[in-house]
Amino acid sequence: MLFNSHRRKLTVKNVEVSSSRQSEWLDAFIRFLTKELQLADNTLLAYRHDLERFFLWLGSRQMERLTVRQLADYIVFLDNQNLADASRARHIVSLRVFFRYLQSEGILKDNPAELLGSSKLWQRVPNVLTRQMVDELLVSPQPDEDKLYLRDRAILEFFYATGCRVSELVNMRLPDVHISEGYCFCTGKGNKQRYVPIGRKAIDAFNRWMTEERPAVEERRTKRTGIPKDLHKDADCVFLSHSGRKIRREAMWELIKKYAIRIGASPAISPHTLRHSFATHLLEGGADLRQIQEILGHASIMTTQIYTHVDQSRLKSIHRKFHPRG
C-alpha cells in the first residue's frame, strides 16, 4: 500500500490552519516521499513547487473544509497561470497525492481531491531535430570560440548517443562509463540503473575530452583548492565545469541553448529535445518500441508510445508492401 499507519501521526490543533502548519505538513509529506517512496530529487522538488503554488492560491481558505467545487476553482487558477498541459496535470497529481497523505494522517476526514478528474493530456508531438540538424549541432562547439569545446562536443554526443536525461548525465561517474565495452550505466528515476550502449563517435569525443582538456581543468582545480585531483569530491564526475566542479544541470541547458542558437535552430531546444530525437531516430531506423523503452528507462510502454507518431510514413509503406490488401 502507498500509505501505512505505522508512522507518527500529524495532528491539527485547531480549525484555522496557519502558514507554519501548512509548512509543517508539506515538510512531513516530502520526508514521506523521500524515505518511504524514495522518489528522485527532481520529483521531490516538483511536488514542493506544485504544493507551494497551491498554498498561494489557498490563502485564508480552510483546507479541511474545501469542496470539490472550490478545488475546481483551483484548476481554473492553474489555467490562468499559462501552464503547459503536462505541468497542469502534474499539479493535479501532486494535489491528489498530498490530500491522500493528509487523510492517512487523520488531518482530513474526506478527500475531495480524489474526485478531481485526471487531466487528459493532448498527445503533443515532441520537439524533434532532423538528422541534419543533429549533425550540425554536434560539431557546433569550436576551438576558437568555446573554452571547453571538446567537453561540449562530448556532452552533446553523449546526449544523442544515449538518450540520457540531463540529471542522469550530470550525475554520471567515470566508473559508469565502460569505453572498451562500448556502454555506460545511467541511474534514472527511483535510482534505477540501466545499461545503455555508446556509439563510436560519442566514444571518440569522450576520449578527446578526457585526454586533451580534462587534465588542464583538474590542474586548475588543484591549484585553486590545494586538493589533489584524486581526492576532490568531484574527481570521478564525467563532465566538469571550467573550475573543475561537477557541471550543473542549468549549465547543461544553457550549453545546448547556446549551440542551438549558433546553428540557427530554435532556442527552445533543450537536453530533452536530444532525448526525443534519439528515440525518434531509433524508431525510424527500425528499433523495437520495447527496446527503446528499455534504453530510455521508461517504467511504462505508454510513455514510449508518444514516439510512434513520428514514423507514420514508414509504417504506411510497410503496410502497403507486406499487407495483402495494402
Active site residues: 165, 189, 272, 275, 298, 307
CA 50, CA 90: separation in Å to the nearest integer?
Answer: 8
Report CA-CA distances (Å) from 19 to 14, 62, 70, 75: 13, 11, 19, 21
User: What is the Cα 199 distance to its own chain's centre?
Assistant: 22
Contact 256, 156 (CB under 8 A): yes
Sign of the Cα pseudo-torsion (60, 66, 69, 73, in order): positive
| C-alpha cell of residue 312 | 507514420
| Residue 55 burial (CB count, 10 A) | 15
CA 159, CA 60: separation in Å to the nearest integer?
Answer: 46
200 strand-pairing partners: none
Q: The cell 499487407 sits on which residue?
A: 323
Q: The cell 541511474 sits on which residue?
A: 187
Contact 97, 46 (CB under 8 A): no
SS3 111: coil
- SS3 helix, strand, coil % of the chain, rounded to 5? 60, 5, 35
| C-alpha cell of residue 75 | 484548476
Q: The cell 531535430 sits on which residue?
A: 129
Residues 80-94 as b/e (b if ≥16 CB within 10 A, e otherwise) read eeeeeeeebbbbbbb
Contact 194, 186 (CB under 8 A): yes
